[in-house]
């Protein structure tokens, strides 16, 4: 393992290889068990995204505590955001449903694809930077468009424009090919990017968001036909597709909404970061920050300490929540097959995630630590009592 490697070097390659293997198998046969595909894809995406979120946190900690800059790039949700999220999600869902009913699915698909072309720009940029490091930093620093006033703040670099062009090309390819393989590739990119950059900040916000979306999912699946109508009629990479019957026209697919990966996934990625933060010696951390700022210690010793702790930390809460998610997603698929009806996956995933973390916290006598945990002190250079 290299000195700057976080996690085992084979974690991400194995996750990508497992999804690629199943994709190739599904190309040649539609007999692959749906529960196998759903479990492998969802867990692989969550594991990759969680470890990337951990790397992102360490990068942000260096930026804040050593470079004296503000934390940028990540989106930390507040309790207010958690309360508003189901309302905005429900409004968007109803809006798409009404568009489908009154204007047909084709017009809605064009609207969604245009939105994805714009929104995928940041995902493509993050993907490029994850493979190239600082290679394109110079063309990203110079801003071609720089508008800042009380109404709008817009900064666009040459790299942003290149990524936007690549995003448009990718959407055009998708529209022409209608390939489920390409659909899944774009969806996977979106999920990993979201898991890397969306932080819940603490377990209170995470629990609130999951509980609210638990009821949201039940209402829109069992209470109305809104969610299933939107999911089945929108032809865009907002879901993972798995071949169900390729002998008919059009081919039939089983689907998994991206929300069933991203929503539990951002909670699960927080569990991995919690495992890491629990191991940090705050006194040692303060010493390294002071000495590196003053130049009295070896450069990057602060980051080296964080990486060593991230690799040595027991991943107990992350493993526990993975087990909870796995049991829940298998339960979802089994019930879906038995009743031959789409299921609100969060009905099972939310209890699976919350109960697994709560049970381990009680077993480890970590109840107060988990309840009072906050990532904010690590992502802010403001002096606060911890």
Catalytic residue positions, numbered: 217, 260
CA distance readout (Å), 230 to 132, 182, 345: 37, 20, 16
**Which pair of structure tokens corresponds to residue 110?**
């064009």
Distant-in-sequence, close-in-space partners of 165: CB < 8 Å, separation ≥ 6: none
Q: Do 84 and 211 touch, CB atoms closer than 8 A?
A: no
CA distance 124 to 134: 15
Measured distance CA(212)–CA(218) in Å, rounded: 10
Residue 239 β-bridge partners: 257
Q: Which of 158, 154, 160 is nearest to 124 (CA)?
A: 160
> Strand, coil or helix: what is 76?
strand
Report the C-alpha gap between 251 and 26 in whole angstroms. Answer: 13
What stretch of H or E contains 238? none
Q: Please choose, from the candidates 180, 173, 192, 188, the residue with its C-alpha nearest in 3D space to the C-alpha of residue 241.
A: 180
**Residue in this structure with the two tokens 């479990």, named with its chain if needed:** 39
First to last CA, the chain: 33
List alpha helices for 104-157, DSSP H: 105-132, 137-141
Q: What is the DSSP string of 280-345?
A: --HHHHHHHHHHHHHT-S-TTHHHHHHHHHHHHS--HHHHHHHHHHHHHHHHHHHHHHHHTS---T
Neighbouring C-beta atoms of residue 112, cutoff 10 Å: 20
**Alpha-carbon gap, residue 338 to 360, rounded angstroms:** 31
């Amino acid at each position: 393992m290299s000195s700057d490697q976080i996690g085992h070097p084979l974690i991400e390659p194995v996750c990508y290889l497992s999804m690629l293997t199943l994709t190739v198998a599904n190309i040649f046969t539609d007999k692959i068990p749906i529960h196998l595909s759903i479990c492998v894809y969802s867990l692989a995406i969550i594991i990759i995204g969680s470890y990337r979120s951990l790397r992102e946190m360490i990068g942000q900690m260096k930026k804040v505590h050593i470079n004296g800059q503000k934390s940028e790039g990540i989106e930390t949700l507040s309790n207010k955001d958690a309360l508003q999220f189901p309302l905005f999600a429900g409004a968007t869902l109803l809006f798409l449903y009404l568009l489908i009913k009154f204007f047909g699915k084709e017009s809605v698909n064009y609207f969604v694809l245009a939105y994805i072309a714009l929104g995928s720009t940041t995902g493509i940029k993050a993907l490029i930077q994850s493979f190239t490091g600082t290679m394109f930093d110079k063309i990203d620093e110079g801003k071609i468009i720089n508008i800042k006033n009380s109404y709008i703040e817009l900064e666009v670099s040459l790299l942003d424009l290149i990524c936007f062009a690549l995003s448009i090309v990718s959407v055009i390819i998708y529209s022409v090919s209608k390939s489920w393989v390409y659909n899944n590739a774009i969806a996977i990119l979106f999920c990993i990017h979201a898991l890397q950059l969306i932080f819940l900040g603490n377990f209170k916000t995470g629990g609130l968001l999951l509980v609210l979306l638990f009821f949201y999912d039940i209402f829109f699946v069992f209470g109305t036909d809104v969610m299933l109508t939107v999911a089945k009629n929108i032809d865009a990479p907002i879901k993972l597709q798995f071949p169900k019957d390729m002998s008919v026209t059009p081919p039939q697919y089983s689907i998994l909404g991206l929300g069933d990966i991203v929503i539990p996934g951002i909670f699960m990625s927080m569990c991995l970061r919690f495992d890491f933060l629990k191991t940090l010696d705050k006194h040692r951390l303060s010493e390294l920050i002071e000495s590196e700022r003053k130049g009295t210690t070896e450069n990057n010793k602060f980051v080296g300490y964080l990486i060593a702790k991230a690799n040595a930390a027991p991943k107990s809460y992350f493993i526990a929540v993975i087990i909870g998610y796995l049991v829940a997603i298998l339960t979802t698929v089994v019930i879906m097959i038995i009743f031959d009806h789409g299921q609100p996956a969060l009905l099972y995933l939310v209890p699976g995630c919350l109960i697994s973390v709560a049970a381990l916290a009680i077993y480890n006598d970590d109840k107060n630590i988990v309840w009072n945990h906050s990532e904010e002190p690590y992502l802010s250079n403001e002096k606060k009592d911890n």
